[in-house]
Structure 1
Amino acid sequence: MDQIPTVSVTDLPDDAVVVDVREPDEWAAGHAPGAVHIPLGEVPERLAELPEGEPLPVVCRSGGRSQRAVQWLVQQGFEVVNVDGGMRAWGSAGKPLTSEHTDEPYVL
């Protein structure tokens, strides 16, 4: 299997535009401020919504789902990278989080 291209959260700016492939409840709890939410199962039909920018970082909770998304998107000709460690690493690095409610955002 080809090596999945990855990027460390520490190499991404705090306002990076990332594609978040987590489920809606995970997204609502807390996500990167510049993220675009496209759940993993919806990626194939929502390709037109992928933001501009190459390579485009893709993130999930810990890296497994985003790795699958990156693998598939690379096969479709997209220049994408998996965010190593996912949103858990993002939160651990002290990067900003926002949420869909008034609660303190967190990584679900």
Structure 2
Amino acid sequence: MTEAQVLLVLVPDEAEVTAEVVLENKDIGFVRLGQEAEIKLETFPYTRYGTVSATVKSVAADAVNDEKRGAIFPITLVLGRGLIDIDGKPVRLAPGMNLTAEIKTSRRR
């Protein structure tokens, strides 16, 4: 699967930290509940600070029409942690942070 689009926002959901993201129509057939994902935060470059693990919590049953991208599917990811280590200090993830998610749909042979 190709990289997902830049995703929308982090949203606090009680004790969980979730990310509400969108998937293009061409990618939705490979995404299922419980799949693992890696979150790359725009604020903290992943090549230096790494990624945050996540799991697919929900996948919309119906597409939403986007004027620029056509049919898109909203999905929710639950992040494995609400903090990221920045130069040895834990930094809390904040609502509204832009991110990209890569959902692991299969393993390479």
Structure 2-normalised TM-score?
0.24
**Higher fraction of strand:** 2
Structure 1-normalised TM-score?
0.24
Q: In terms of Rg, which structure is larger?
A: 2
